């Protein structure tokens, strides 16, 4: 599984959740954790219809299988747990 954090440098909630996202990347070494800056990578953000940051998207075998919008620590942990296998 790959989890992508669609983020922006100017986004306060994105910056607040960033350390937790990094922590989870260490707690779940079986998963890949990636960040996509929506201002630098506009085509990718558009492709996945990202309209709010942060948005976390889970991919398995190249297919999006779920998303979570917002800097919600408890929900992010549950989202990762749900899709880790």
Q: Which residues are catalytic?
A: 11, 14
Beta partners for 68?
56
Cis before 54 (ω within 30): yes
Closest-CA residue to 59 (of 30, 28, 83): 83
Q: Please provide residue 36's backbone torsions phi and psi, each rounded to the nearest 5 degrees.
A: -125, 115
Nearest to 53 by CA among 33, 67, 74, 32: 67
């Amino acid at each position: 599984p790959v989890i992508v954090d669609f983020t922006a440098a100017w986004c306060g909630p994105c910056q607040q959740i960033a350390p937790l996202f990094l922590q989870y990347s260490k707690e779940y070494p079986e998963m890949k954790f990636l960040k996509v800056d929506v201002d630098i990578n506009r085509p990718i953000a558009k492709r996945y219809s990202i309209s709010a940051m942060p948005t976390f998207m889970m991919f398995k075998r190249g297919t999006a299988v779920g998303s979570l919008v917002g800097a919600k620590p408890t929900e992010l942990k549950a989202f990762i747990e749900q899709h880790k296998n």
